[in-house]
Amino acid sequence: MSGACHVNTFNPNKLLLSKWTATKSYQKQKHFLVTELIKDELEESVIACVLEAVINKQTFKMDWQELKDAERWIQGWK
């Protein structure tokens, strides 16, 4: 293993309705849809997002930056 950090690259403003797969179950779920972007007071920067589990519609708020970790998250449904 090279120790290189794998990073998903994307524009946080384009996250809405994007699909994600957790490499390891997250909150006992694997497939998610970004249903909401939470922005700062000036509505300029995305600070968090809401993921909705595809299987049961359960929602989770999280820092959007966590989706950059390619060892934990894969873009799309796999």
Instruction: Report domain extents, the chain.
Output: 12-75
Half-sphere exposure of 55 (CA within 13 A, CB side): 9
- Name the pairing type of β-strands 46-53 and 19-26: unpaired
Tens digit of each residue's pLDDT (9 = 90 or more) over 13-66: 999 999 999 999 887 899 999 999 999 999 889 999 999 999 999 999 999 999
Task: Answer whether residue 2 shows pLDDT above 70.
Answer: no
Task: Answer whether residue 74 shows pLDDT above 80.
Answer: yes
Q: What is the pLDDT of residue 68?
A: 96
Q: What is the pLDDT of residue 1?
A: 41
Residue 67, phi then psi, degrees to nearest 5? -70, -15
Closest CA to 36 of 48, 26, 21: 48
Half-sphere exposure of 14 (CA within 13 A, CB side): 4
| pTM, entire model | 0.87
Q: What is the pLDDT of residue 60?
A: 93
